Structure 1
Amino acid sequence: MDDLPPPLILDILSRLGDSADLASCRVASKTFNSLSRDIRSINLHCSFDRYAKSRCPLTRSSITPFKTILKNLVSELRIVESVTIGVDKPLRTVSYDDVEDEDDDLYLTEVNFVGEWLPKVSDGLTSFSISDFWVQSCWRRSEVLSLISSFCHKLAELQIRNAWLSVDGLKPMPKLSKLTLEYIRLDDEDLNKVNESFPGLQVLNLIGVGGLKDPKIHLLQLKACRWTVSNAVYSVTIVAPNLVKLKLKCVRPRALVIETPSLADLHLSVEEASSFKVEEFVNLTNLHLESLDLRRLLCSLPFGKTIKNLKLGLTKSSELMGVAKFGFESLLSVFPNVSSLTFTPWAWSIFEMYICPEGDEIRSRMKGLKEITAYLEIHDFETTLSCIFSILDNCTNLFEMKLFIHRDVVFHVTNTLISRCMTRYPRVIWRWGMWKEGTEDAWILDGVL
């Protein structure tokens, strides 16, 4: 290995999945030891095994503290551009009630700890990610955001997970373009401070951010946003004139205000909302809707004519009879220009209960539909088959049908469905697949199991 060109060795060392392995490499070779100082990224995670050994009386003394490892790494590197630290996924699921852990050895957003090493690497740092240990961080409010904003003036990407954050002392960071806050505790006034302090944000991910009552995002440069509102709130507001892609998941907001005139791709998941206030989406072409009451949500949307690609989903606990009256005829009256239609699991079960009516007017309305994707459970074979035939009889320009059949459907039923569909409609390009909750979708080659 010592005979390899130094740039190649450096590239190999830079690809190590865990920066803790650098210590072994330094011992193995003088060349490795020298070149390792030029690595510009740190990727360090505490495994469940390390955590368990640090708690065991028999092994505790042999385990180097996780925070010490990081500080040693920082002291060895010349320039650091990226830092990623955290706990592995098994540790993220550990409950405070289970361990009653009052230590701070894995409290990674602790200001004193971060303040020991962050100033040394801040000049070159452009990416910073912390995944804290919730058991130790949930009851300690951290001012790490203030510390980061004081030193990291070139930072472009910031991710913080599993922490209770304070915005006290937070300074503007105009160069920050991507922010991810996941399973974070904030207050409404804290989110307002985030809006003010990160005016240049183009990508924002807020996932499971709790403690909010009337959250509002107001960012003029924002282009992509993923927002999962973890609890019931009074209202959710988004004001972002340049936003192009939005994925929003709520519970039961009383009001939903979306002022995003440039929006082209919207994924909206909401159990129910009392009122909607949206500007006209003249550029919206991709729409994914999920709701407990899909019918009411579809009827309440004040847009639809621009939609080309539509995806519908609902939870299995939905009231089927209340939604079943909303069939293809009504669907295409709301979205007259849709060309690609996808039914996620259980949404198809709603619409197959409503057979398309016949007639030239119906066929004319459905002529723009070119492609359908559906996930089938097949509770009643003849009902499923009749629905597919009815759609294809009316959608004369439909050229591609992608059908995923649940893996629990018996072999004979699946093959019979495939055979009858392909025989009756040879003009259609058929794509067959299999699906099941919690597994990857799988394609059936040539429609044969």
Structure 2
Amino acid sequence: MEDLPTHLVIDILSRLDDSADIARCRVASKTLNSLSREVRSINLRCSFDRYAKSRSPLTRSSITPFKTIFRNLISELGIIESVSIGVEKPLHTVAYDDVEDEDDLFLTDDKFAVEWLPKIGNGLISCSISDFWVQSCWRRSDVLSLLSSYCQNLIELQIKNAWLSVDGLNPMPMLSKLTLEYIRLDDEDLDMVNKCLSSLQVLNLIGVGGLKEPRIHMSGLKTCHWTVSNAVTSINIVAPRLVKLKLKCARPKALVIDTPSLTDLYLSLEEASKFKVHDFTSLKTLHLESFDLYRVICKLPFGPTIQNLKLSSTRTIGLMVATYGFKLLFSVFPNISSLTLNPRAWSELEMCEDLEVQNQMKGLKDITAYLEIHDFDTTLLFIFFILDNCPNLTDAKLFIHRDVVFTVTNTLISRCMTHCPRVRWRWGMWKVGTEDAWMPT
């Protein structure tokens, strides 16, 4: 280490998974002791083991409080550009017993934030706070407003496991990426976020509770990942520059999407009784996940621009009905060149008895599908139907469930490759909970 260039040593120290290790590096050499003070990032995590020792009567006195360690790091470093503090995932399972009066891991605590934000806020570019839910869920925090007061140069912000207030929230013109995960937030709070964080380009709202009729109205937003809770009754998204949207919801009574620049959409919902969606004039890639794919496909104005289509059905085998087939798909999506089907979506299409199409599906060039093979002849007939009606299909990637017996799998592979040698076949195996695996052919 003594012979490494100065900038490289600082970079190595900045990449430590636990900034508490910096203290250990200081006693290793004079060089490390000197250069460690030039590190511009803090990455500090409380492990389950550390938490358990801090609560045990036998070891409690020997454990330095987590917030004290963080304060010491702040005092020993100069300019700090990045802060990431939080608890490790195993702590998310800790019960609520006997923690109401504790606050050492209440990391979005206003008093704690006021102790360190004024000292480093002006230079801070990136900040991530992953709170301890059993200590933060019943305490409302103004940390978001404090960050907006002290961190005018902040570009990226992530807050997890907290109950946030937006009282006193100031505009943050530099902030371009915001992630709120497992947060309590009300509709009016989200309205204030729309107003004060208007420069956001990336917004991730994962499991944000408390919302009823949330609205996202952001003129500069380009990427959005939004996982909506079941309590939400309506969703409203107006974002003229939005390019990529991942939206997961259950049964919203109303869904409004006004995103004319959207090119990549992942939409997961069970059903929606009312849609108000402007035409997707730029959409190229679409992933639909639903209990009722037929209704969603027929209701939304997807248009002819989609080239890459992925369908994921969430129906169980016993509830499957033949409601749609390739004829419907290619009338709604006439220009798709790539198609991916999850096991349930394939089975639903396979059940459709109408295997007649008016025109050949000339645009389809590659298909990826996951097969369960409940009836060999039905599956084989459906594959032949696709091959015969898609003359430009050149690539087929078919994954067969691992529980299908080898003789059935081997026969299917042989029959398909013999029937259509023009296709570049790739065969694999799949099973829930395991990684897909390619099979030698």
| Bigger Cα displacement from structure 2, 428-437 vs 42-51 | 428-437
Deviations 1:58-107 (A, max 9, x none): 111111111111111111111111101111111123343x6655311100
Aligned residues: 441
The equivalent residue for 2:68 is: 68
Indicate if the aligned counterparts of 1:53 and 1:59 stay in contact, CA closer than 8 A: yes
Deviation at 1:356, TM superposition (A): 5.6
Worse overlay, 155-164 or 111-120: 111-120
Residue aligning to 1:289: 288
- How far did 1:280 drift? 1.4
Cα distance in structure 2, aligned partners of 1:185 and 1:116:
24
Q: CA deviation at 1:21?
A: 1.0
2:410 partner amino acid: N
Q: How does 1:48-67 map to 2 (within 5 A)?
A: 48-67=48-67
Identity of aligned residues (%): 71
Q: Which residue of structure 2 lines up, in the alignment, with residue 400 of structure 1?
A: 395
Could you tell me how far apart the structure 1 residues matched to 2:412 and 2:268 are? 32
Cα distance, 1:184 vs structure 2: 0.4
Aligned twin of 1:215: 214
RMSD of aligned residue pairs (Cα, Å) = 1.5
Q: Contact (CA 8 Å) 1:143, 1:165: kept in 2 or not? A: yes
Question: 1:234·1:255 contact (CA, 8 Å) conserved in 2?
Answer: yes
Q: Are 1:328 and 2:326 an aligned pair?
A: yes
Secondary structure of 1:31's aligned partner: helix
Pair 357,254 (structure 1): closer, same or farther in 2 beyond 3 Å = same
Q: Which region of structure 1 is more displaced relative to structure 2, 201-210 or 338-347?
A: 338-347
Quick one: distance in 2 between partners of 1:160 and 1:311?
A: 31
- The answer as to 2:164 corresponding to 1:162 is no
The Cα of 1:414 is off from its aligned counterpart by 2.1
CA distance in 2, matches of 1:192, 1:39: 37
Unmatched 5+ stretches in structure 1: none
Aligned to 1:38: 38
Distance across 2 between alignment mates of 1:385 and 1:424: 10
State the AA in 1 paired with 2:123: G
> 116-125 vs 158-167, which deviates more?
116-125
Aligned to 2:240: 241
Partners of 1:438 and 1:66 lie apart in 2 by: 36
- Greater shift, 428-437 or 34-43, is seen at 428-437
CA distance in 1, matches of 2:156, 2:83: 11
Distance 2:342 2:328 in 1: 18
| SS of 2:422 mapped into structure 1 | coil
Bigger CA drift: 403-412 or 240-249? 403-412
Counterpart for residue 441 of structure 1: 436
Task: Give the C-alpha shift of residue 210 in structure 1.
Answer: 0.6
Unpaired runs of 5+ in structure 2?
none
1:414 aligned counterpart, secondary structure = helix
How far off is 1:436 after superposition?
1.8
Q: Name the counterpart of 1:343.
A: 341
Write the deviation string for residues 32-82 of structure 1: whole angstroms up to 9, x where unpaired.
111001111111111111111111111111111111111111111111111
Determine if the alignment matches structure 1 residue 412 to structure 2 residue 407.
Answer: yes
Aligned mates of 1:319, 1:283 — CA distance in 2? 37
Residues in 1 aligned to 2:289 and 2:317: alpha-carbon distance in whole angstroms: 11
Contact 1:355/1:387 (CA < 8 Å) preserved in 2? no
Letter in 2 for 1:81: E
Q: Which residue of 2 aligns with 1:353?
A: 351
Offset, 1:6: 2.2
Cross-structure match for 1:196: 195
Residues of 2 paired with 1:160 and 1:171: CA distance? 17
Given that residues 356 and 387 in structure 1 are in contact (C-alpha distance below 8 angstroms), is that contact kept between their aligned partners in structure 2?
A: no
TM-score by length of 2: 0.97
- Residues 7-52 of structure 1, C-alpha deviations (whole Å, 9 max, x = no match): 2222221221111111111122221111001111111111111111
Q: d(CA) in 2 for partners of 1:416 and 1:72?
A: 67
One-letter amino acid of the counterpart of residue 340, structure 2: T
Secondary structure in 2 matching 1:311: strand
Deviates more, 1:294-303 or 1:243-252: 294-303
Q: Tell me, what secondary structure is at the counterpart of 2:181? A: strand
Residue 29 of structure 1: aligned partner? 29
- Paired letter, 1:295: Y
Following TM superposition, by how much is the alpha carbon of 1:319 offset from its aligned partner in structure 2, in angstroms? 6.8
Q: Could you tell me how far apart the structure 2 residues matched to 1:8 and 1:108 are? A: 31
